[in-house]
Amino acid sequence: MTLPSDWWHLAVALALGLFVGLERERDGQGVAGSRTFGIAGLLGGVAAAISPYAVAGTLLATGIVAAAGMRSSDEQDPGATTEVALVGVVALGALSWSSPSLAVGATVAVVILLWAKTPIHRFARDLVSEEDVRDALTFFVAAFVVLPLLPDADLGPYGVLNPRRIWLIVVLLTATGWVGYVASRVLGARRGLAITGLAGGFVSASATTGAMARRARDPAVRREALGAAVLASVSTLVLLVFICAYVSTDVLRALAPSLATGLTALLATAGILLLRSRGTPAPAVEGSTSSVVPEKAARPFALGPAAILALVLTVALFVGRWGAATFGGAGAVAVSGIAGLADAHAGALAAAQLASDGLIPVSTATLAVAAALASNTLLKLVLAFAAGGLQVGARYAALMVVPVVAFAVPLVLAR
C-alpha cells in the first residue's frame, strides 16, 4: 500500500520539522522545542498546498512569533539561531510540497550547522585570520563574479585560449586546495606535518616537497617530514584525476589503473613512515608549547599564484597545440614533459585537451601525462636534495621508487 503523494509530502514536512526540533531541544536553546518545530514544518507544507500567498503569510506570522519569543527570553544574550531556524523550517516544509528530496537535503545541512555550533565558533574565533577571510573573499569573487563574465569561446592561435575553461580549472584546483588547508588549520600543529604536506600539495607539491625536505634535516622529525613530502605527491595525482575528468574522460579511463596503483603505493609509503614514527616522542621546540611545529600550509588562493597558474596553463595549451601540429605526437609528449617542470597539471591539461580535440590518440596523451609527471617528480627530487641535503634527498628518492614503478607498470603493460 502506498500513500497518496499529497499525504507523503505533508509527512516529509512534519518529519523534517521534528528532526530540526529534536536537535534544538537537545541543545536546550530558544523557546521552541521539537513539537513546535514539527508543527511549523507541517504548517509550511499545508500553506504550500493552498497557495504561495499562504506560504508568505505563514512565514510572516512565524517570524513575528519568533521575534516575540526572542524578546521575552530571560537570557542576556539569547541569540537568534533557534528563532531563525523556526522560520526556516516553515520554508522547508513548504519546499517539501514541491520537492521533498531537496527539502530533506537542505534540512540535513541545517541540522549539521546547528549541531556544529562549538567547532564552528572555535574555527571562526581562533583559527581564521584576516588573511584567510581576504583570500576567501577573493576566491568567491574569482569563482562567482569573474568566471561567469569570461567568454566561453576558443580564441587566439590554434583556438586554444578559452578564458572561461582556463579560469574554471584554476578555480577547481584552488577550491580543492581549500579542503586540505582547512583540515590543517582545524587539526592544528599537533596533527602536524602529514596534514600540512597533503594540504600544501594541493597548492604546490614541488614547493611543499622542498619545505618538508628542509624539515627532514632534523633527525627527530625526519620520518614525519618525509611522509608529508610523499603525501604532497598524493595531492598531485588527486588533482590530476579532477583535470582529466573535466577535460577528457577517455584519458582518465586509460590512466585509471596507473592512478590507482600509484596512489595506493604513495599512501602505503607515507602510512608506513607515519606509523613507524608514532612511537617516537617528538622533541620540544625551544620557546614553544607544541611538540612539533609543522610548516604552515600554503595559502590555497591568492591573486598572484592564481594568475601565474592561469598563465602557465595557457602557455602549456598553446605550446602543446603547436608541438602537436608541428611534430605530431612526439612533440606533444615533449612539450608536456617540459611543462611538467613548471607544473605537472599544466602538461597533463595540454595532453588531455589535445586528446579531447582529436589531435592526438588517447594512448599518446597518456604518455604525455606520464612525461609531465616524470619531469615534475624529477623537479621534486632536485628540490629534496637542495633543501634537505644528500642524506634526506637520497631517502626521498628511495621512497619514491615504488610509487613511480607502480604508476609506470600499468602504462607499459597497456601499450
- Name the H helices within 2-80: 5-27, 34-50, 52-71
- In the block, residue with C-alpha cell 531537496: 102
Q: Other CB atoms closer than 10 Å to residue 327's CB: what's the count?
A: 13
pLDDT for the residue 396: 93
Residue 163 and residue 108 in one domain: no
Residue 210 and residue 309 in one domain: yes
Task: Determine the Cα–Cα distance for residues 243 and 214; give it in Å rounded to an integer.
Answer: 30
Q: Is 120 part of a structural domain of the chain?
A: no
- Domain range for residue 39? 5-115
Q: Is 122 part of a structural domain of the chain?
A: no
Identify any residues that bridge with 161 across adjacent strands, giving them in sequence order. 155
Q: Other CB atoms closer than 10 Å to residue 148's CB: what's the count?
A: 9
Q: How many domains does the chain have?
A: 2
C-alpha distances in Å from residue 290, one per residue of 185, 195, 234: 15, 16, 27
Q: Other CB atoms closer than 10 Å to residue 119's CB: what's the count?
A: 11
Q: Is 198 part of a structural domain of the chain?
A: yes
Residue 88 and residue 137 in one domain: no
Q: Is 125 part of a structural domain of the chain?
A: no
Residue 110 and residue 163 in one domain: no
Residue 146 and residue 250 in one domain: yes
Q: Which of 88, 115, 142 is the endpoint of a domain?
A: 115
Cβ contact 338:375 at 8 Å:
yes
* pTM reported for the whole predicted model: 0.60
pLDDT for the residue 188: 52
pLDDT (tens, 9 = 90+) of the chain, 415 residues, equals 344 577 888 888 888 888 888 877 776 655 567 788 888 888 898 998 898 888 888 888 888 887 776 666 555 545 577 778 888 888 888 988 888 888 888 888 888 888 877 666 666 666 666 777 777 777 778 778 888 888 877 676 656 677 887 787 677 666 655 655 666 566 554 456 777 787 777 777 887 888 788 888 888 778 888 888 899 899 889 888 888 888 888 889 999 999 999 999 999 998 888 887 655 544 443 333 334 444 455 555 566 666 766 776 677 767 766 766 676 777 778 877 887 777 777 778 888 888 888 878 888 888 888 888 888 888 888 888 988 889 999 999 999 999 999 999 998 887 6
Residue 58 and residue 94 in one domain: yes
Q: Which of 82, 115, 148 is the endpoint of a domain?
A: 115
Residue 175 and residue 263 in one domain: yes
Q: Is 333 part of a structural domain of the chain?
A: yes
Cβ contact 127:186 at 8 Å:
yes
pLDDT for the residue 288: 37
Q: Other CB atoms closer than 10 Å to residue 332's CB: what's the count?
A: 30
Q: Other CB atoms closer than 10 Å to residue 109's CB: what's the count?
A: 10
Q: Is 123 part of a structural domain of the chain?
A: no
Residue 268 and residue 326 in one domain: yes
Task: Determine the Cα–Cα distance for residues 173 and 348; give it in Å rounded to an integer.
Answer: 13
Cβ contact 46:55 at 8 Å:
no
Task: Determine the Cα–Cα distance for residues 56 and 248; give it in Å rounded to an integer.
Answer: 47
Is the Cα dihedral 232, 237, 241, 242 positive or negative?
A: positive
For the chain, counts of helices (H) and of strands (E)? 16, 0
Is the Cα dihedral 350, 351, 352, 356 positive or negative?
A: positive
Q: Is 266 part of a structural domain of the chain?
A: yes
pLDDT for the residue 299: 57
Residue 53 and residue 182 in one domain: no
Question: Cell numbers at residue 74, please?
Answer: 530571560
Question: Cell numbers at residue 297, please?
Answer: 600550509
pLDDT for the residue 174: 66
Task: Determine the Cα–Cα distance for residues 118 and 221; give it in Å rounded to an integer.
Answer: 32
C-alpha distances in Å from residue 287, one per residue of 10, 283, 302, 316, 365: 61, 12, 31, 46, 52
Q: Is 109 part of a structural domain of the chain?
A: yes
Residue 248 and residue 326 in one domain: yes
CA angle 170, 173, 178 (to 5 degrees): 120
Residue 184 and residue 37 in one domain: no
Q: Which residues lie below 8 Å from residue 352, measured CB to CB, with a gap of 6+?
A: 243, 244, 247, 248, 251, 365, 369
Residue 102 and residue 216 in one domain: no
pLDDT for the residue 29: 56
Residue burial 337-353, b: 16+ Cβ < 10 Å; e: rest: bbbbbbbbbbbbbbbbb
Q: Which residues lie below 8 Å from residue 347, measured CB to CB, with a gap of 6+?
A: 316, 320, 335, 336, 337, 338, 339, 340, 368, 369, 371, 372, 375, 376
* Phi, psi at 161, each rounded to 5°: -90, 95
Q: Which of 87, 115, 143 is the endpoint of a domain?
A: 115
Q: Which of 289, 296, 346 is nearest to 320 (CA)?
A: 346
* Phi, psi at 155, each rounded to 5°: -120, 170
C-alpha distances in Å from residue 181, one per residue of 50, 121, 151, 175, 199: 47, 18, 30, 10, 5
